[in-house]
Structure 1
Amino acid sequence: MVLTQCANCGTDATMRCAGCMDAPEYQPGDSVGVVYCNRDCQKGHWSDHKAYCRALGQRRKLLRAANILKAALLTYREVEYDVDLTKMEFQDGVLCLYQNQRSITARSKRGLFPAHLTTNIEHKEAALANNQCTTAMALLGRLTRKLLEGVDWTIEVLDLHIGKPRIITKLVPGPDSSDCPHTVLKVGRLFTNEIWIIDTAGCQYGFREVLVPFKRYLADKSSRISNEPTTYDATETKDLDYFSTLPFMNRTRAQREDTRLERQARLHFAVFVDTQVNKDILNGSAAGFKDKLDRFVHELKLHMLNLGN
């Protein structure tokens, strides 16, 4: 739906309010931006429009933050890939990631994702995100809080079982992870009934949208909730700190060295968030945000590649 009449005087109009453009829908048709015939009409209508405009502006910031979080996870994984991948094959809805499986006494093969194995962006993203929702929750905690600081949202961690993936991604050889819960962020806007899901690692199931209304996410993906949501307070190494207490994950020198290197990379990522990310990245036009996101990805990749230099 596109409005063509001035919200203030009712005449034909084409000047869209920049504050509520490009906001995602929560309910069908509830994010229609208004138009005006001139600046005077826009100023005259502001007292009526401002609450709606600010609400849509908050949604747009949430969508942009979600896209940054997904891009950050995939960029990190692209540089710090730890699977010795030899072939990718998609057939009958299953994306098989063939790997050289290592023993617990051998170090993981860390480095750039082998991009030559596929030209399909969805398959590449699925491979990068495979079994990474726990990593995503830890890695992205600082960045999430920085992007949404001062915005009226509650953020919780939620475990789900996905009943209807678009694709199934699995390592071959590798354990069957089909029954493992999938971890997402449950985000609610204060003083409203809006509840959203941010799914940064959902591309392993072929999910393209990173921000989806809560009820629609559950329905479209036939998802069931595994447990009650918990407060999102993760640090970059929260999962690694826990893994370090588990004897079976620390039996060998190779396992301990892999954890050390992953911790080093996570802390290097945190430096980028602290020094290079500004909340202003969420502002501006759609075209301007695309440029900012592209620059963010480029600069993060260079930063991660410089680890150890």
Structure 2
Amino acid sequence: MASTSVTECAHCGAAATLQCAGCRDAPEYQPGDAGGVHYCGRDCQISHWPSHKSRCINLRRRRKLLRTALILKAALLTYREMVYDIPLTKIERRDGTLYLHQRPRAPTTVFQPGPFPDHLTTHVEHREAALTVNQCTLAMALLGPLTRKLLAGIASTLEVLDLQLGRRPMPARLIPGPDPSSCPHTVIQVSRSGAGETWILDLTGCQYGFRDVLVPYDRYLADRACPSLQRPVPYDATETKDLDYFATLPFLTHTRAQRENLNRERQSRLRFAEFVNTRVRAEVLEGSTVEFQQKREAFTSMLKRHLEKPPGGN
């Protein structure tokens, strides 16, 4: 793949404008460890392959991990956009906090989740925070099978980790609602077998003002000032794992409305699971940066159309 800059060929040292497409745009684990490898031509690239092979394979897997994180976040945001269950009335940022005003809702109220109220904000970060606020539990359940499906080709160990974030640049808070500052934040810890790398997949960090969805473990803890860690547990969630547990709690199933609302959420989750099982292929992670962006946009559009259809629809 052609590069816009001229550098030295990794094999012969001549001026080079071709960059290895296999590992291009991989994320850094340590500063500077994902720099591009350039060649003056195809012959030098072939000759250099025995030296570059191991690094290239490692960076390709890193890139797939990053792309998995981006697809997972897109899936979560799209699901919440289509199945939004908070009666928001106003979104405002004040004194560093994003306040999400909502209408109080009694446990006897049956509600129909619907599209996110886009008219309340045009700010991308505010919108994503409103979509993910208090959604760690949902995200871990909803995205479990999709995460494992996309990472099936990357040797890794997936675990759930609860953290106390000491730094939150823009925390979102529901009004009325409890103060969430003491609530743990749940992320996915990805340990890459054989690579000596541990990453954090943070799919709901945007509710606190964090934008990156894939961050090296040590940098994640330092940047977010995490003072304590709990022991991670295997990430084996299904799309309805949290709902299965909620259904056993009397205070969440006491009224007919509560039971009906749980059932509606379950149907939406199963609809999402159907999409993952029938429409998602590992090939969504392949291709150039531009091709992947197009695939991610197509993924989002297909998921929206799928969730718009009634259960049983084609």
Q: Distance in 2 between matches of 1:64 and 1:80?
A: 24
Q: Distance in 2 between matches of 1:85 and 1:129?
A: 13
Matched, 1:17 2:43: no
Q: Given that residues 189 and 199 in structure 2 are in contact (C-alpha distance below 8 angstroms), is that contact kept between their aligned partners in structure 1?
A: yes
1:202: which partner in 2?
205
Q: Distance in 1 between matches of 2:131 and 2:226?
A: 22
Matched, 1:175 2:178: yes
Matched, 1:45 2:29: no
Q: Distance in 1 between matches of 2:99 and 2:257?
A: 26
Once the two structures are superposed, residues 59-105 of structure 1 have per-residue CA deviations (whole angstroms, 9 ceiling, x without a partner) of 00000000000010000000000011111111111111111111111
Secondary structure of 2:92 counterpart: strand
1:252: which partner in 2?
255
Q: Distance in 1 between matches of 2:176 and 2:6?
A: 54
Secondary structure of 2:230 counterpart: coil
Deviation of 1:151 after TM superposition, in Å, equals: 1.1
Deviation of 1:227 after TM superposition, in Å, equals: 1.4
| Letter aligned with residue 170 of structure 1 | R
Matched, 1:235 2:250: no
Number of residue pairs matched? 308
Secondary structure of 1:55 counterpart: helix
1:84: which partner in 2?
87
Matched ranges for 1:156-175 at <5 A:
156-175=159-178
Q: Distance in 1 between matches of 2:171 and 2:44?
A: 52
| Letter aligned with residue 166 of structure 1 | P
Once the two structures are superposed, residues 100-159 of structure 1 have per-residue CA deviations (whole angstroms, 9 ceiling, x without a partner) of 111111123410000000010000000000000110000001100110112111111000
| Letter aligned with residue 35 of structure 1 | H
Once the two structures are superposed, residues 253-308 of structure 1 have per-residue CA deviations (whole angstroms, 9 ceiling, x without a partner) of 11111110011000100000011111001111000000000000111011111134
1:217: which partner in 2?
220
Q: Distance in 2 between matches of 1:261 and 1:124?
A: 24
Q: 5+ residue gaps in structure 1?
A: none
Deviation of 1:208 after TM superposition, in Å, equals: 0.5
| Letter aligned with residue 113 of structure 2 | R
Q: Given that residues 186 and 196 in structure 1 are in contact (C-alpha distance below 8 angstroms), is that contact kept between their aligned partners in structure 2?
A: yes
| Letter aligned with residue 59 of structure 2 | L
| Letter aligned with residue 199 of structure 2 | W
1:149: which partner in 2?
152
Q: 5+ residue gaps in structure 2?
A: none
1:188: which partner in 2?
191
Q: Distance in 2 between matches of 1:174 and 1:244?
A: 23
Q: Given that residues 10 and 37 in structure 2 are in contact (C-alpha distance below 8 angstroms), is that contact kept between their aligned partners in structure 1?
A: yes
| Letter aligned with residue 111 of structure 2 | S
Secondary structure of 1:59 counterpart: helix
Q: Given that residues 6 and 15 in structure 2 are in contact (C-alpha distance below 8 angstroms), is that contact kept between their aligned partners in structure 1?
A: no
| Letter aligned with residue 63 of structure 1 | L
Please identify, of 199-208 and 107-116, the stretch whose mean Cα deviation from structure 2 is larger: 107-116
Q: Distance in 2 between matches of 1:14 and 1:51?
A: 22
Matched, 1:107 2:118: no
Q: Distance in 2 between matches of 1:47 and 1:225?
A: 43
Secondary structure of 1:171 counterpart: strand
2:268: which partner in 1?
265
Matched, 1:57 2:69: no
2:33 maps to which of 25, 30, 33: 30
| Letter aligned with residue 255 of structure 2 | T
* CA RMSD across the alignment: 1.1
Q: Given that residues 83 and 108 in structure 1 are in contact (C-alpha distance below 8 angstroms), is that contact kept between their aligned partners in structure 2?
A: no
| Letter aligned with residue 299 of structure 1 | M
2:278: which partner in 1?
275
| Letter aligned with residue 98 of structure 2 | L
Deviation of 1:33 after TM superposition, in Å, equals: 1.5
Matched ranges for 1:269-308 at <5 A:
269-308=272-311
Deviation of 1:191 after TM superposition, in Å, equals: 1.4
Deviation of 1:226 after TM superposition, in Å, equals: 4.1
Please identify, of 224-233 and 23-32, the stretch whose mean Cα deviation from structure 2 is larger: 224-233
Secondary structure of 2:180 counterpart: coil
2:8 maps to which of 5, 9, 12: 5
Secondary structure of 2:225 counterpart: coil
Please identify, of 275-284 and 225-234, the stretch whose mean Cα deviation from structure 2 is larger: 225-234
| Letter aligned with residue 24 of structure 2 | M
Q: Kindly, what percent of the aligned residue pairs are identical?
A: 58
Q: Distance in 2 between matches of 1:156 and 1:134?
A: 14
Q: Given that residues 159 and 225 in structure 1 are in contact (C-alpha distance below 8 angstroms), is that contact kept between their aligned partners in structure 2?
A: no
2:135 maps to which of 105, 110, 132: 132
